[in-house]
Structure 1
């Protein structure tokens, strides 16, 4: 399978790229700066560009089987219009290139999942991360209105811990923890599973640590 990963040089994106290569995928890594992704592999192509550039987004998606997005805002405290425009470009390019599958990394802090996401996300995220959450909600809404075969993965607080495989996912999960967190390695693992698992096609799922 050929997959293009947007936000590939980010902390979670790098896990996605490495894990996808380990699982024999052909990977196109879309990055803002080539120097931020040091990986080299015969099945890896790095595309440097800005998601605001429709032409280069189209080039990246052409000929692929699936799209993954782990694009993050430049600042978690500001609404990044560039990322919102970038998602519109990704969706338009997917429609134009007839690429259907989309896996999008969101957050448990969005309004729909926040009440069940644990104390810190439920009570502090809406204030501290108001703009980041608003950005995800706007992008989720765009994705749900699209014709793509999407899965939205809503992750808890992300850590740089090791892969554990000890997580659960589903549409109606609840956490009673004070801090609900999971490693980026585990999040990447779940996202890659969605490339071949159709159970959550056109659904938004919560991702949480095992109880």
Structure 2
């Protein structure tokens, strides 16, 4: 079993990934500003409260781990629309060289349907939502994805569609080829299921699959 660092594991997809990685028998370390507040207790769980944009904290968090699940998120609100978003790219610029220095080979990252070359695949309503609400965040996710693509790590970038709070089903589509990409809904629990499976599987290394239920 692996020792996994989850960055952004205090809520949403990241918290689901923490739960499922522990269930799968992995040792888990969580790095998040509110890591000590997460509602999970387990002998194989270590929480580390800190900022993913702090290089010293990152180096400590990466010590002894085998893989990283990067599940950063930002709160929805006016700031996401009105101000530039740089969290995703800034964190990734720091993380990749830190992983190399620490000898951590694998990065499993979640962005979203509409990032990178999936931007125009969601239809008219999806494009309108991007133009009004999501463009700044996804412009930064585009940079993040390119940084990961250009790196020398073993990477997988998951692009889930519209997220729900449904249960984990294990029944979802993993669409690797661009001609198969379709926007759909998927539970955060099922996204986490995919992320955790990539800890010790190689099938999707170097790909950017879209996920939908």
Q: How far apart are 1:30 and its partner, in Å? A: 0.7
Coordinate RMSD, CA, aligned:
1.7
1:119 deviates by: 4.9
The corresponding residue for 2:57 is 56
Moved more, 51-60 or 191-200: 191-200
What is aligned with 2:197? 193
The answer on 1:155 being equivalent to 2:160 is yes
Give matches, 1:10-25, under 5 Å: 10-25=11-26
Q: 2:98 aligns with which of 83, 93, 101?
A: 93
> Following superposition of structure 1 onto structure 2, how do residues 29-68 of structure 1 map, counting pairs within 5 Å?
29-68=30-69
C-alpha displacement of 1:115: 3.1
Q: Is the aligned partner of 1:207 residue 2:200?
A: no
- Runs (4+) of structure 1 exceeding 4 A deviation are none
1:141-152 pair list within 5 angstroms:
141-152=146-157
Q: What does residue range 126-145 of structure 1 map to in structure 2 within 5 Å?
A: 126-145=131-150
How far 1:128 moved relative to its partner?
2.0
The alpha-carbon distance between structure 1 residues 111 and 140, as it changes in their structure 2 partners (threshold 3 A), is: closer
**Within the alignment, does 1:174 sit opposite 2:175 as a pair?**
no
Structure 1: stretches of 5+ with no match in the other structure: none
Aligned pairs for 1:103-118 within 5 A: 103-118=108-123
Contact residue 175 and residue 181 of structure 2 kept, 8 A: no
Deviations 1:159-186 (A, max 9, x none): 11111222111322232x6xx2110000
* 1:46-82 deviation line (CA, Å, top 9, x unaligned): 0110011001111101110000011012454343324
Local SS of the residue matching 1:92: helix
Is the contact made by 1:117 and 1:156 (CA closer than 8 Å) also made in structure 2? no
For the 8 Å contact 1:51–1:82, the answer to whether it is kept is no
User: Aligned partners of 1:198, 1:122: CA distance in 2, in Å?
Assistant: 32
Moved more, 55-64 or 74-83: 74-83
Q: Within 1, Cα distance between the matches of 2:176 and 2:123? A: 16
TM-score by length of 2: 0.90
**Structure-1-length-normalised TM-score:** 0.91
SS of residue in 2 equivalent to 1:46: strand
Residues 116 and 145, structure 2, Cα contact 8 Å, conserved in 1 = no
Paired residue secondary structure (1:30): strand
